[in-house]
Amino acid sequence: MKEQLINGVLQFLAGKLPEQYTTDLQLYLYHQLAEYDVTKKCTDMAVREEKTYMDYLYMYLAALRMAGRSEKTIDHYKLQLGLMLHALAKPVQEITTEDLFTYLAQCKAIRQVGNRYLNNKRICFNGFFSWLQKKRHIVYNPAAALDQIHYEKKLKKPYTDEEREILRCACKRERDLALIDLLYSTGMRVGELVRLNRQDIHWDTMDCVVFGKGAKEREVYLNASSCYHLKEYLLSRTDSNPALFVSSKAPYSRLSEHGVRQMLQRLGLQAGVEKVHPHRYRATAATNALNRGMPVQDVQALLGHEDIGTTMIYCTVARDNVRTAHRRYLAA
């Protein structure tokens, strides 16, 4: 390689220098390059394998997991984005706003889904393409131009005091009574409830720490009733499972979200109370707390909401409270 370099230089200068200078130059180059290794620089460009839309999807899901999003949320994004990408079947760089709009319109026409469902899809799309744009995988976010899809927001109807007592009286197991009392006292989500262990309860201070959305922890509080019935339930257990709530039969496995929903559904049928589900206890706790004078900021902290507007959606104000307030402030 060294000789090729020197010969190339001499050929370039052939006829431009006297012969004696050419010989001197050859000897000089050999002398100067004697201590150097000369190699040819490779200028061939490496061919990068093109990423598929599924590659980008799994990269995004990994980013969500790193950000602390729950597996339930990640599974939801995986499903909605996977369906969309499979249906469009084109590189993410080529997906347009029109593509996304047409896809949503077809979902509504063919599957007869509601606007709330469609808007949730739009939110998923916007998060995905916004991340791709931020990471410079695409030039622009095609979902950014999709307008918000409006839908009727139904107020969460809380249980009345009578309904709550009817449900309590209908409980045939100490576990079920302890569970619904804990849901109401703490206002926690069902996902937070099923992740609790026995050791998480602080009996002396009547509180516990739960991990909510985004793996954020917060302190919630037990009232006297929930504390008493929870103790009675734990004393009645003979298993060694560390979970706070377990199935009623062997092998006494940790109670799942689905198991809690099924239990409450059966309880509602037995008690004659409609629409019994765990989230309704959360709405009831928030509504009662507000109506009894708890500051909305404290209710927000209790529920673990980042946005106080979310707290107000969960909470309804009793008509009697509005009537009383009107008479107090606007009577004259």
Task: Annotate 115-128 with DSSP letters as a single string.
Answer: HHHHHHHHHHHHHH
202 is catalytic: no
Catalytic status, residue 277: no
Q: How far apart (Å, rounded) are the C-alpha atoms in residues 227 and 242?
A: 18
> Among 175, 189, 229, 280, which one carries the catalytic annotation?
189
Choosing from 108, 213, 231, 261, the catalytic residue is 213
Torsions phi, psi for 27 (to 5 deg) = -65, -40
Which position among 65, 116, 135, 279 bears the catalytic label?
A: 279
Tokens of 201: 């309860």
- Cα separation of 69 and 71, whole Å? 7
Model-level pTM greater than 0.75?
A: no
**By C-alpha distance, which of 161, 156, 179 is closest to 266?**
179
Q: Is 279 a catalytic residue?
A: yes
| Residue written as token pair 């590659």 | 55
Per-residue pLDDT of the chain (332 residues; tens, 9 = 90+): 667 777 777 776 666 666 666 666 666 676 676 677 767 665 554 445 678 989 999 999 999 998 888 888 899 999 999 999 999 999 999 999 999 999 999 999 888 888 999 999 999 999 999 999 999 999 999 999 999 988 777 666 889 999 999 999 999 999 999 999 999 999 999 999 999 999 999 999 999 999 877 667 899 999 999 999 999 999 999 999 999 999 999 899 999 999 999 999 999 999 999 999 999 999 899 888 888 888 889 988 998 888 888 787 765 555 566 677 767 777 65
Q: What is the third-level CATH fold of 54-145?
A: DNA polymerase; domain 1 (1.10.150)
Angle at which helices 278-291 and 257-271 cross, to 10°:
70
Instruction: Name the CATH architecture for the domain at 161-324.
Output: Orthogonal Bundle (1.10)
Nearest CA among 296, 288, 324, 329 for reference residue 312: 296
Cβ 96 vs Cβ 138: under 8 Å: no
Instruction: Determine the 3-state secondary structure of 65 from DSSP.
Output: helix
Q: How far apart are CA 109 and CA 114, in angstroms?
A: 10
One-character DSSP codes across 170-215: H--SHHHHHHHHHHHHH---HHHHHT-BGGGEETTTTEEEEE-GGG
Predicted local distance difference test score (pLDDT) of residue 17: 64
> Is residue 128 within 8 Å of 77, Cβ to Cβ?
yes
**Dihedrals phi, psi of 219, to nearest 5 degrees:** -95, 135
Whether 86 is catalytic: no
- The residue with tokens 């008479």 is 327
Active site residue 213: yes
Which of 305, 323, 327, 328 is catalytic? The answer is 305
Q: Which burial class, exposed, middle or buried, applies to 278 when counting CB atoms under 10 A from its CB (0-12, 13-18, 19+)?
A: buried
Respond yes or no: is residue 305 known to be catalytic: yes
